[in-house]
Structure 1
Amino acid sequence: MDPGLLERITARRAELDELEEQLAKVLSEVRAERDKLAVAERVLERVSEQLANERASAMPTPGQVGGRAVMLIPHRAPDVEEAMLPPDYQRILAAVRQAAGPVIWVSAARPGRTHDNTAARHDHILARLRTAGLGALADLGSAAWTTTYVAP
């Protein structure tokens, strides 16, 4: 038997044994990290479920007005968070906060039964705002005012 060949086989076996040890160590680290990720995933799922349940219980309940479905908005109180408002109203509040200048609503006193659109048309609010170089921010329910409104 060739002693050089036997020496090369022994050296290669030693290299492979060392590589096997390194790979076993890396594999162990990978498995440990995967286990940690599995735990993190379960925690995230539980937290997400809790948040979804909290949001669902905090959402305003639909109601009926005049036979039509409407979203009831919770009364503002010190303990009521903005997150409890419907998303449309949250976007309106965010737009008002981001406005470059003061946000003003001008309205004459009207009976409580007067709709906002009716009051705005009667008092020519949009024309006055345009004359002053201002615009109006409204939800989509105000689309009847004019075609020049901004919906958040």
Structure 2
Amino acid sequence: MRRPPGCSHEAQAEREEPVIAERVPNRPAEQDRVAAVAPPRVAGRAVLLIPHRGENPEEAALPGDYRKILALVREANGPVQVRAVCERLRLDTSVRVMQEPLRTKMTKFADRGWLHKRPDGHFAARR
């Protein structure tokens, strides 16, 4: 960066210091705080991380909408269709394409071990 005429090197460094401090946390504690607050991003968009279900699944780690989906699937008396979950969530089911975002969520949920996706497209809760 070019210094303005009559500006000492120290004065320029002082002017630039706050800008650098805003961009890069300089202490490990600050870096942890920034990492915990900032959502993960892919291609500039925030992404939602759904943890894999382990032996001792912690549902509290799931986002609220996923906990609600899991509860609805568990309440059902067997495998459920995406349309039925959409209806229980009061989402528009008049056009099939409106169900696709929920189908994607439920498929991701199944991929992470929280639900079981059957070959017929129905979903069931894992026991």
* TM-score normalised by structure 1 residue count: 0.29
Larger Rg: 1
Q: Which has the higher contact order (CA 8 A, sep 6+)?
A: 2
* TM-score normalised by structure 2 residue count: 0.33
Greater share of helix = 1
